[in-house]
Structure 1
Amino acid sequence: MNLLIKAAKIIDVSNPELHSKKRDILIKNGKIEKIAAKIAPDHQTETVSLKNLHISLGWFDSGVCFGEPGFEERETIANGLETAAKSGFTDIVLNPNTHPVPDSSSDIVFLKNAAKGQVTGLHPLGTLTMKAQGNDLAELFDMKNTGAVGFYDFKHPMENANLLKIALQYVSNFGGLAYSFPMDAAIAGKGNVNEGESAVRLGLKGIPALAEELRIARDLFILEYTGGKLHIPTLSTARSVKLIADAKKKGLDISCSVAIHNLLYTDSKLEEFDAAYKVMPPLRTKVDTKALIKGVKEGSIDFVTSDHIPMNIEEKQVEFENAAYGTIGLESSFGILNRIFETETAIGLLTKGRERYGMEQPKIKEGEAANLTLFDPEVKYRFEAKNIHSTSKNSMFLGAGLKGKVYGVIHNGRTLF
C-alpha cells in the first residue's frame, strides 16, 4: 500500500508541530514515510485528494457490540468491523454480548481469529464471571493472556459485593481491568425508563437515578479497599459524575464512559413511545445531560462510546415494555460529537482511551505505522437509513441533524474509503 495524501489538515493537539497544519503525507507499506508541505507523487503511489480533507489519529470506541457468535443475524464480526471502519474507527473494544459469552481463553482466541485481516482492530472483553451469571469468576488470567483487554458481565449488575472485591484483588496481580455495570437491580426493579415526569405521564415504570448512584458509591468503596483498576461503563446521571470526580481526587484507579446518546437526548423523547429510544441506562433529564457534557469537558468522564448494540427488527417493533434495549451508534458517532462539541474536542474524545486497555497510542510521525482517520468536519446532513452500514437498523438517530463526514481509514497496512 503506497498512498500520498494531499493537503490534509492535521488535527492532533498532542503534536503542536503538526496540529492545524496542512501537510502532504506519504505512506509506504503501511508506514508514514514522509510528512511535508509538498510531496511530489510518483507512478507507484496512489494520490488521495479530497475536499476539505482533515486527518487525525485513528478513532477508538471503548464499547461496541456485534452478534457473532450466536446472534449473527444482528451483526457478524466481519460486517461489524467494516461498519466501524466506514464510521472512522480503527480500533474497537468488543463487549461480551454474544451466545455463548466469552468466558474462557478459547472464546477470546475465536474472536481474535474472526477479526484477522480487517482494517479495524478488534479488542475483546471477556466476561468477569462464568456465563456472566455473577456466581464464579471466569478464566480471567487465561483470557488476559490470549488478548482480552478487560472483564465485563455486559449490562449485568454485579450483585455480589464480595465477588467484586475478590475480582479486583485478583486482576490487580496482572494489571487487569474489571468492569462493574452501575445498576442496583433491586432498586431498578421492573423499570425500563428514567423515573421522572415523562414516565409518570406515559404510565411507564421508572428506574431511579439512585439505582445507578448507589451502585457506583458501593463499587468505589470496594475499589478503595482493594486497589486494582475499575471501569464504570455508561454513566447517565449528574450525581454519578460527581461520585467519579471525587474518587479521582482521592487517587483511585477509576475510569468511566458515557454513551453518546445520553449526551444528546433526554427522556422527553419517550413521548413518541418509540422503542428506538429504549436504552440501558435510560435517557435521563436535561440536568443530567448537562452534567454529563460538563463531565466530559472537565475530564471526570474519561471516554465517550457509541454503545453500539444491533438488534433485530422484531426485538424493537413490539410494545415498548417488551422491546429490547439498545441502539446502533457507530455510523452517527462523529456527526453527533462534532455537533455537540468543537471539532478539536470531538476528535480528542474519539482518539483517547487506548492506554487504559493496554494498547499503544498511535502517532502521526515519520516512521510510525499509519493509523489514521480521514474526514470533513463541516458537512451537515440529516442521518437517514442510507447512512446505516450495520445489518441491524435500530438507530435512534434517524432524522437527526449531524455535522461531519468520514472519508475513510488507514490501519493494519490496509485502507477503506
Structure 2
Amino acid sequence: MNLIIRKATVVDPKSPYHQQTVDLKITNGSIEEIGTSILNIDTHQEFQHEGLHISPGWFDTSVSLGEPGFEDRETIAHGLEVAAKSGFTGIALQPNSYPVIDNQSQVHFVKQKAANAATDLYPIGALTKGSEGKDLAELFDMKNAGAVAFGDYTKSLANANLLKIGLQYVQDFDGLVLAFCQDENIKGNGVANEGIVSTRLGLKGIPNLAEELIVARNLFLLEYTGGKMHIPTISTAKSVALIKEAKAKGLKVTCSVAVHHLVLTDEKLEGFDTRYKVTPPLRNEEDRKALVAGVLDNTIDCITSDHNPMDIEHKKMEFDLAKNGTIGLESTFSALLTVLPLDKVIEKLTFGKSILTIENENIKEKNKASLSLFQIDSNWTFSKDNILSKSKNSAFLGHQMKGRAIGIYNNGKLVLA
C-alpha cells in the first residue's frame, strides 16, 4: 500500500532526520519523500497517531514458533502477525520445531510458510543433525536455501571438537555459528539460579559457573579456529566480562541478552510460578545490573525477546517438571524502556541484522520503507489482554510497562496492534 505517515518523530542516528518530527511519503514500498506537511496529491492512504515515533525496523534474533510439529503452541503465520503488531519487521526463527530445521527442505518449508508476510522470517539452521550434538547438519545446503546462521537453540554442544570443526567449516562460506553456553553436567537437575532464593525455596540450583565455563571454552575455540561466533542469551556478570575481554583481543564474537534477564531476577520465583522458568535461569540483581551495564557499554550487541511459546499442559505443573520458556514479542519494547534509554533500546533491537549480515534500511529517501512504529510516554500494566500469542506463558504479566509498540510498515504492508 502507498502511505503517508504524518508527524512522526524519527529515532535513527544514521538518518539526517534523527530526532525530527516529519511526514514520510511511501510509494511502492520505498520512501519517496521526507518533509513537513507533504501534500497528498496521489491519493495515498494516511496514518497519524498521537506521540508517534518511528525507527528502522526492529529485528529479533531468537524466536521460536512451533510450526512444524507444535502448531498448538504457535503457527508461523500467526506468530509473524504477533511480531508485526509487536513492532518487529524481521525475526530469526529458531530450528527447535519437529522435525528440527536441519536440512534445506525444512528451510524451504518455513520460508514458504512466511511468504508474503509483513514481517520477514530468517531461518536459523540446526548446527547438528536433529540438534542432537552428534554430527554436523547440512550447513552449506541450508545456507544456500536461506539459513542465516547455525545453532541448536538452548542446547550447548558438549563435544568441543565438533564445535571446532563447525567453526572451521562455515568459514568457507562466511557462516555464523550460534553457541549457546551451558554445561549440562554442572547444571544437572537444576531448575533455578543457584543462590539465596533457590536455597530458601528448596529448588535445585544452576550455578553461574555452568554458563561461564562453556563461554570461556567456546571463546578459546574461536581464538583457535578464527571465524565468527554469536553467543546467545548470556545471563551472568562473568560472561559479560569474558566476552568483553575476547572482543578486546579482536575475536569476532557477538552476543545477545534476553529482555527478561535485563528486567527480572530470581526473586520472581517466590510463588513457584512456572512462567519464570526460563533457559538460562533468571539470575540475581548483581547479574542483572551487569547485563544492563554490558548493554550500555556495547559489550552486549543486541537484545532478543527469546520468544518461546509453551502450551498450558507443559507450564501448569510442578516447577521441577514444567518446560522452560516465556513468550516475549508483545512485551519486549515496553519492558526495555523501564530499564534502558530509548536510543539504546532502538540500537539493540536493530543491530541483530548486522550480526546476521542482513541489510538494515535507515530512514532516508529512496530507501526501502522498513519501519517500526511506537510511542514512548504511556505507563501501563501488562495483562492477559495484551497477549497476542496463542500461548499465554508470559513472564511479564502484571509488570509495569512504559511506551507501546504501535505496529510496523514493511514489505508494502501496514500492520497495527
| TM-score normalised per structure 2 | 0.99
- Structure 2 residue 406 is matched with structure 1 residue 407: yes
Whole-angstrom distance in 1 between the partners of 2:10 and 2:19: 5
| Structure 2 equivalent of residue 6 of structure 1 | 6
Offset of 1:175 from its aligned partner?
Answer: 0.5
Whole-angstrom distance in 1 between the partners of 2:343 and 2:356: 23
| Structure 1 equivalent of residue 59 of structure 2 | 60
Where in structure 2 are the equivalents of 1:11-30 lying within 5 Å? 11-15=11-15, 17-30=16-29
| Structure 2 equivalent of residue 154 of structure 1 | 153
**CA-to-partner distance for each residue in 1:183-238, whole Å, 9 max, x for gaps?**
01111111011010111111110011001000010011110000011111110000
Offset of 1:43 from its aligned partner?
Answer: 5.9
Letter matched to residue 26 of structure 1: K
Offset of 1:342 from its aligned partner?
Answer: 1.4
Letter matched to residue 206 of structure 1: G
| Structure 2 equivalent of residue 259 of structure 1 | 258
| Structure 2 equivalent of residue 295 of structure 1 | 294
Where in structure 2 are there 5+ consecutive unaligned residues?
none
| Structure 1 equivalent of residue 113 of structure 2 | 114
| Structure 2 equivalent of residue 354 of structure 1 | 353
Whole-angstrom distance in 2 between the partners of 1:156 and 1:24: 46
Whole-angstrom distance in 1 between the partners of 2:179 and 2:349: 23
Whole-angstrom distance in 2 between the partners of 1:395 and 1:246: 34
Letter matched to residue 8 of structure 1: A
| Structure 2 equivalent of residue 377 of structure 1 | 376
Whole-angstrom distance in 1 between the partners of 2:362 and 2:344: 18
Whole-angstrom distance in 2 between the partners of 1:277 and 1:405: 23
| Structure 2 equivalent of residue 285 of structure 1 | 284
| Structure 2 equivalent of residue 397 of structure 1 | 396
| Structure 1 equivalent of residue 143 of structure 2 | 144
| Structure 2 equivalent of residue 72 of structure 1 | 71
Identical columns (%) = 52
Which aligned segments of 4 or more residues in structure 1 are displaced greater than 6 angstroms?
Answer: none
Whole-angstrom distance in 1 between the partners of 2:404 and 2:9: 15
The alignment partner of 1:25 has SS state of strand
**Preserved contact between residue 3 and residue 47 of structure 2 (Cα < 8 Å):** yes
Offset of 1:149 from its aligned partner?
Answer: 0.5
Alpha-carbon distance change, 13 to 161 in structure 1, aligned in 2, over 3 angstroms: same
Letter matched to residue 13 of structure 2: V
Letter matched to residue 233 of structure 2: T
The alignment partner of 2:290 has SS state of helix
Whole-angstrom distance in 2 between the partners of 1:318 and 1:66: 22
Whole-angstrom distance in 1 between the partners of 2:251 and 2:283: 27
Over aligned residue pairs, what C-alpha RMSD do you find? Answer: 0.8
Whole-angstrom distance in 1 between the partners of 2:389 and 2:195: 33
| TM-score normalised per structure 1 | 0.99
- Structure 2 residue 156 is matched with structure 1 residue 173: no
Whole-angstrom distance in 2 between the partners of 1:372 and 1:283: 32
Letter matched to residue 377 of structure 1: I
- Structure 2 residue 122 is matched with structure 1 residue 129: no
Offset of 1:313 from its aligned partner?
Answer: 0.7
Offset of 1:42 from its aligned partner?
Answer: 3.1
**Preserved contact between residue 302 and residue 350 of structure 2 (Cα < 8 Å):** no
Where in structure 2 are the equivalents of 1:83-232 lying within 5 Å? 83-232=82-231
Letter matched to residue 137 of structure 1: L
The alignment partner of 2:177 has SS state of strand
Offset of 1:400 from its aligned partner?
Answer: 0.5
**CA-to-partner distance for each residue in 1:135-163, whole Å, 9 max, x for gaps?**
10000000001100001111111000000
Whole-angstrom distance in 2 between the partners of 1:234 and 1:356: 14
Letter matched to residue 2 of structure 1: N
| Structure 1 equivalent of residue 311 of structure 2 | 312
Whole-angstrom distance in 2 between the partners of 1:345 and 1:162: 37
Offset of 1:345 from its aligned partner?
Answer: 1.6
Deviates more, 1:385-394 or 1:345-354: 345-354
| Structure 1 equivalent of residue 269 of structure 2 | 270
Offset of 1:379 from its aligned partner?
Answer: 1.4
**CA-to-partner distance for each residue in 1:34-53, whole Å, 9 max, x for gaps?**
00122012362111111011
**CA-to-partner distance for each residue in 1:97-146, whole Å, 9 max, x for gaps?**
10010110111000110000100000010100001111100000000011
The alignment partner of 1:399 has SS state of coil
Letter matched to residue 31 of structure 2: I
**Preserved contact between residue 14 and residue 362 of structure 2 (Cα < 8 Å):** no
**Preserved contact between residue 235 and residue 261 of structure 2 (Cα < 8 Å):** yes
**CA-to-partner distance for each residue in 1:55-113, whole Å, 9 max, x for gaps?**
11111111111010000000000000000000000000011110010110111000110
Whole-angstrom distance in 1 between the partners of 2:120 and 2:390: 19
Where in structure 1 are there 5+ consecutive unaligned residues?
none
Whole-angstrom distance in 2 between the partners of 1:374 and 1:280: 30
**CA-to-partner distance for each residue in 1:301-336, whole Å, 9 max, x for gaps?**
111100000000111000000001000000000001
Deviates more, 1:380-389 or 1:340-349: 340-349
Whole-angstrom distance in 1 between the partners of 2:413 and 2:125: 27
Whole-angstrom distance in 1 between the partners of 2:360 and 2:146: 17
Aligned length: 416
Whole-angstrom distance in 1 between the partners of 2:350 and 2:92: 13
Letter matched to residue 289 of structure 1: R
Letter matched to residue 169 of structure 1: Q
Offset of 1:375 from its aligned partner?
Answer: 1.1
Whole-angstrom distance in 1 between the partners of 2:220 and 2:344: 32
Whole-angstrom distance in 1 between the partners of 2:352 and 2:321: 35
Deviates more, 1:33-42 or 1:132-141: 33-42
The alignment partner of 1:66 has SS state of coil
Whole-angstrom distance in 1 between the partners of 2:360 and 2:208: 35
